[in-house]
Structure 1
Amino acid sequence: MEKILASKMRKSILATATSVVLAVFFLFPGSLFALDNVDVGKLEHHFKNRYGVYLPGGFTVKVVKVKDSDIKGFKEGGYQVGFPDGRSRTYPFFVSRDSRFLIMGSAPTVKVDEMEETGVEGMRRGFLATEGGQVPILVSGDGKTIMVGDLENLDADPAADTARKISLENVPSKGDPEAQVTVVEYSDFQCGYCARAANQVADFLKEYKGKVKFFYKQFPLSFHKWAEEASIASLCVYDQSNEKFWKFHDAIFEKQGEIKVANAKKTLEELARGLGVDMKKYNECVKSEQAKRRVASDMKEGKSIGVSGTPTFVVDGFVISGGANIKAIRNAVDYRLSLNSERSGR
């Protein structure tokens, strides 16, 4: 669980060789620290909503060492996390005095030239170029202090932007369409971890019947030479029947070890034919540019929300990577269900 949280924080804050502390961030209601005009309840609610799906039970958190910072308009402090095994660790943060913005991490000093205004007094935004892409940075108004990270709006739903980027129209699905929690998988038919996940997901959906609606997205990795062909074929089967798609999906993973580039086309055709698919329509579809564009669209969408490997799952807009980690998905779903239960009980 800590590894998953560490991965999420690295993507959120994207540490370089600075002193920014990135790993697992937890928050739990209970902090009673008065931070000038900062609304601690709002701060805690934001973190609970932002990171709650990744939190295990039994941890404790309290705000410590809060003091004025060198950045105008912000306080600095730390979240002291107590883990169930007795360990503890403190993670630094900055919070604006008006209780609107939070920055996780410490403040290394770096010089930058061009920055843009954020709308927050004493804070400008820019980017540093790295091998992994652009790293968001924030710079104090006087240009003397820089932090690796970005502003998080405490008034916004942290997963809403991710959820909005995911199209669920004309996508293979399972489960109750009215279920409370939405799970999306980005997968690759040639991926060994995805094959393992397929079996686990089947059991998971039985366990959460009526509670989860599940969607399958295509994300064939470039080094898997027949994966894209399988993705295209699966969508052509889906166009004829959602039910047959899932049977085709299961059959590909069952035969994954037998499929090679040389026999992929024939094997996929045989599997489709065995399901009673209209082969004329199927063959026309697999040759079409439209089918290829649909796969490319899924991949572009996945990359836009941070998908880089498979399988990657998204639970109500919260991205869970790290392979076939069904335990993490269960924790996320359980949390979202409990949150919905709390809301309905109000």
Structure 2
Amino acid sequence: MPSRNSIFSLSGLALAGAILMGVMLVRPIRHEFAAAAPQNNPGAKQSGQTESKSAGKSSPAEAPAASGSIEKRVEDFLRKWYAWGPDFQLKIGPVKPSPAGDLYEVPVEVSARGGSDTALVYVTKDGHYMLRGDLQDLNSDPLGDTMRKLNLQGAASKGPADAKIVIVEFGDLECPSCRQLDYVLRSVLPKYPQVRFVFKDFPLETIHPWAMTAAITGRCILQQSSDAFWKYHDTVYDNQDLISPETAYNKLLGFALQAGASEEKLKPCIADPKTQELVRQSMAEGHALDVTSTPTTFVDGRRLVGPDQALLEQYIQFDSPH
């Protein structure tokens, strides 16, 4: 499920294709840019010509003025376009050059009523257009780059260690959508024995109060037995609705013992701060890959958000020998 309440559902707007979901959005914002331009007088004209010639060199001296102007115009445009009134807090910037060279990259964070979302927009250097999309370097190997960022050592996994197809899930044991994905995987993975599946912790602490406890307990079980971990993993999902913040520790401990874990080893491990640090390292890895919701799955580097069985199998079949 989302890591935060969707700001778009809070606003009652269907903006999935506009800001966060990566569908291209191109809007002219020239009128705001023109309004911010300096008055035309000989001195200003001469200065403006000098700045124009050096603009392509991205002079540090002129960046703050240009950045401030762009940030304000982006905020004004987004507020008007999506009817984001005073109840919506926007943080725009800092503006920086994008990898494409002729665009500025502008981070946008919008929050309201306890929820927040983030995205990147791009603005042409003349201040005329804003767009939202993913910039891809056609000379790179994006899937390989993603896989190289995934550290699979020490993570829970099942399937061939030398598998050509690797599925990596960033999941949360308290997340209902992750439970749905688990049910999907229970039916899908047996059909593809050549696939390796890896589970990495990504507990959403702000909305799931016992997710971190579940992740820590799972880590400790994994240190004892991989088979015991997967039994625990499935049992937690099957009994998700029976667990509360007040009963989580005892319930999870009980599931761990049922799975075959040793209580004598389990309790000290759960209490050890180093175990939580392992979970946070997994979370940091997810953040570095722009994981913001669970489940987020990578199938040989291809990102899949949510329990979409059809797309999951499409990815697997595409990479399977024909």
The one-letter code matched in structure 2 to 1:116 is P
The answer to whether the 8 Å contact 1:320/1:329 transfers is yes
1:277 aligns with 2:256: no
The size of the alignment, in residue pairs, is 239
The answer to whether the 8 Å contact 2:28/2:129 transfers is no
Larger % of helix: which?
2
Provide the residue aligned with 2:315 in structure 1. 332
Provide the residue aligned with 1:190 in structure 2. 174
1:155 aligns with 2:155: no
2-structure distance, mates of 1:7, 1:214: 29
Unaligned ranges ≥5, structure 2: 1-14, 30-68, 72-94, 111-116
Equivalent of residue 158 in structure 2, options 153, 174, 177: 174
The answer to whether the 8 Å contact 1:187/1:218 transfers is yes
Residue 209 of structure 1: CA displacement?
0.8
The answer to whether the 8 Å contact 2:25/2:130 transfers is no
The answer to whether the 8 Å contact 1:136/1:150 transfers is no
Q: Over aligned residues, Cα RMSD in angstroms?
A: 3.0
Greater relative contact order (Cα 8 A, min sep 6): structure 1 or 2?
Answer: 2
Structure 2 SS opposite 1:267:
helix
Equivalent of residue 254 in structure 1, options 221, 226, 238: 238
Equivalent of residue 70 in structure 2, options 98, 112, 137: 112
The answer to whether the 8 Å contact 2:108/2:121 transfers is no
2-structure distance, mates of 1:8, 1:147: 15
Give the alignment's TM-score, normalised by structure 2: 0.66
2-structure distance, mates of 1:7, 1:258: 33
Equivalent of residue 27 in structure 2, options 18, 28, 32: 18
Q: Which range moves more in the overlay, 166-175 or 253-262?
A: 253-262
Unaligned ranges ≥5, structure 1: 1-5, 21-110, 342-346
Q: Larger radius of gyration, structure 1 or 2?
A: 2
2-structure distance, mates of 1:119, 1:306: 20
Residue 336 of structure 1: CA displacement?
2.1
Residue 157 of structure 1: CA displacement?
1.1
2-structure distance, mates of 1:271, 1:291: 18
Indicate how the Cα distance of structure 1 residues 14 and 127 shifts in structure 2: closer, same or farther if over 3 A, else same.
farther
1:218 aligns with 2:201: yes
The one-letter code matched in structure 1 to 2:263 is M
Structure 2 SS opposite 1:185:
strand
2-structure distance, mates of 1:17, 1:201: 38
1-structure distance, mates of 2:219, 2:159: 19
Provide the residue aligned with 1:227 in structure 2. 211
1:126 aligns with 2:111: no
Percent sequence identity is 26
Per-residue CA deviations over 1:42-90 (Å, capped at 9, x if unaligned) read: xxxxxxxxxxxxxxxxxxxxxxxxxxxxxxxxxxxxxxxxxxxxxxxxx
Structure 2 SS opposite 1:201:
helix
Indicate how the Cα distance of structure 1 residues 175 and 292 shifts in structure 2: closer, same or farther if over 3 A, else same.
same
2-structure distance, mates of 1:7, 1:181: 30
Indicate how the Cα distance of structure 1 residues 156 and 244 shifts in structure 2: closer, same or farther if over 3 A, else same.
same
Residue 145 of structure 1: CA displacement?
4.2
